[in-house]
Amino acid sequence: MADKAYITPIVFRWARESAKMTSEIAASKVNVTVERLLEWEAGTTQPTIKQAQMLAKAYKRPFALFFLPDIPRDFQPLQDFRRSDSKALSTGSVFMIREIQQKQAWISETNQENREQKFPFVGRFTVNDNPEDVAEDILNTLDISPGKYPNGNAVKEWIEKAEAKGIFVSRTSFVNSHLTLDSDELQGFAIADPFAPFVFINSEDWAAPQLFTLVHELAHIWIAASGISADIDPGFRKIDRLHPVELFCNEVAANALIPKHMLLQLGSSIYQTASQIFAVAKTFGVSSFALLVRALNLNLISIAQYKNLKAAADAEFKAFLIREEEKKAKQKESTGGPSYYLLQIQKNSRLFTQTVLDAFHGGSLEPTQASSLLNVKINHFHNLEAQLYK
């Protein structure tokens, strides 16, 4: 008979519930009935050691945790700035947030132990300040010139400039091959720690929304408002139902990505056709919709112009998405898709990956911990480094 795991029932149940996993799904992970799983959680029967280990892996918790005498202190949940009617965070979102919190906690502790200085831009402003001032400070701090992006890759430029200043930027649309992230549920979040500011972006969407999310989350860092976002939008849909912090950060993002003075310099001729709008929006790295809303809010176009141009821009955008999907399909067919190690670097943050590898090679970080932080086996670190230095 297989050895029993004499787990602590209350901890066992907490591990499942904190993973936002139903008893039905958890039972299916070990091929038992729901009734049997609930017996384990009640303490009337015990799982085998193998079954408990399988569930520890499914819940993304250490196996030893099941044997603690009481529920352990977990990471503090991030403030939820989403609308009250937003979709509940699923297992994938919970796991992603927890994973980033673990990485952020390690780097913050490491920086504090090494007596690193706090980053002065974290919490430099509040929601009572002018969004234009916050946007200007972000641009100056990161040394970014809106509309002047090398090779037209605005997202890459912003990430590289942010990480050069010590802001860790994680970008992915998956937790693992079985768990993906829903952008309607979670677009991004920020941890505004003065020793290790961390930003996460859900990359499920296309480039322009990702860029707006990134700058929105940077605004969270600048006002020291750690939290989860899912209503990141340059527009005014359901604006009365948005959290004041989200409204403020949206305004900061709009000002940083499409500065007023630059839009005024372009003149009124750019609002003639949807094609012109699309071309100008592309130089700023934003969507046609974002540009039109910005112009409307600055009274550069009328509501009638906005409606007509938006309808045409929507059609132009749909055609663009079709072209992009075809391009991606061809690229995947010819190359097999992005490298697994490149995806891990984007997910971990390029800066975080470099920091962990430096600590590992310097002997200040145990191999097993380095492997755990990077989600890559030690004997594959050379593949990670080859991709990192490309």
* 261-289 pLDDT tens trace: 999 999 888 888 888 888 899 999 998 88
pLDDT at residue 227 above 80?
yes
Q: Please tell me the pTM assigned to this model.
A: 0.87
Burial of residue 190 (CB within 10 Å: 0-12, 13-18, 19+) is buried
pLDDT at residue 1 above 70?
no
Cα separation, 53 vs 108, in Å, equals 30
Burial of residue 9 (CB within 10 Å: 0-12, 13-18, 19+) is middle
The number of residues in the chain equals 390
Q: What would the pLDDT profile of 152-211 be if each residue is shown by its tens digit? A: 899 999 999 999 999 999 999 988 878 889 888 999 999 999 999 999 999 988 888 899
Strands of the sheet with 188-191, listed across from one edge: 168-172, 198-202, 188-191, 227-229
Residue in 68, 138, 76, 126 with CA at minimum distance from that of residue 102: 76
Domains of the chain: 9-67 (1.10.260.40), 76-257 (no CATH), 340-388 (no CATH)
Strands (E), the chain: 168-172, 174-176, 179-180, 188-191, 198-202, 227-229
Mean pLDDT across the chain, nearest whole number? 90
Q: What would the pLDDT profile of 42-67 be if each residue is shown by its tens digit? A: 999 999 999 999 999 999 998 988 99
- Alpha-carbon torsion 232, 202, 73, 107, what sign? negative
Model confidence at 376, in pLDDT bands (50, 70, 90)?
very high
User: Would you state the pLDDT for residue 384?
Assistant: 92
